[in-house]
Structure 1
Amino acid sequence: MRVLCTSCGTKAIIGKTDRLSLAHANLYCSCTDPECGHTFVANVSFSHTLSPSARSSSQLVTQLARAMAPEQRKALQKELMLFD
């Protein structure tokens, strides 16, 4: 990830990351231009999903199958056998 100085636009170095949650972090940054010397905190946060995780899809299917009645689960297993 590239962070630019908010004062002069030069590349900045991330010196420390303070992770507040999986979706938000504070980045403590320093400008690499010695004439500027600006230090600042940038916030990085999760915005939205473009493509869902395959892991969460698998977990969702497992949870749905477990919530089914035993007869429904057996019928689903038979249908899935058709794809082998």
Structure 2
Amino acid sequence: MRVYCRECGEKGRITNTNRMSLEYAELYCQCRDATCGHTWVETLGYKHVLSPSAKTASQLSFHLSRALSPDAQQDLLAGLQGAR
């Protein structure tokens, strides 16, 4: 990702990122032109989906269940079998 200085138009660098959430971050930027020296904060935000994820709900459920303890996995399996 490229950022540009609003004061002189030169390329800037992102010196730090403050992630506020999965959808929003603040980017701390600095102009690369030493004679300018401008620093600023830009925001980066999620807008919308162009193509949905290839991961299905069943794949996500499987990976989440693997993070459970063995006892919790057995309880989940018993609950699913009882729901049929």
TM-score (norm 1): 0.67
Deviation string for 1:4-63 (max 9, x for gaps)?
1121111101010000001100000000011111000000001111001112xx117988
Local SS of the residue matching 2:20? strand
Counterpart check, 1:6 vs 2:2:
no
Counterpart check, 1:25 vs 2:25:
yes
Counterpart check, 1:59 vs 2:37:
no
Instruction: Give the number of equivalent residue pairs.
Output: 64
Local SS of the residue matching 2:16? strand
- CA–CA separation in structure 1 for the residues paired with 2:32 and 2:10: 7
Query: Could you tell me which residue of structure 1 aligns to residue 15 of structure 2?
Result: 15
Q: List structure 1 runs of 4+ shifted beyond 4 angstroms.
A: 60-63
Unmatched tracts of structure 2, length 5 or more: 62-79
Local SS of the residue matching 1:50? coil
The one-letter code sitting in structure 2 at the alignment partner of 1:20 is M
- Percent of residue pairs bearing the same amino acid type: 47
Unmatched tracts of structure 1, length 5 or more: 71-84
User: RMSD between aligned alpha carbons?
Assistant: 2.2
- CA–CA separation in structure 2 for the residues paired with 1:35 and 1:62: 51
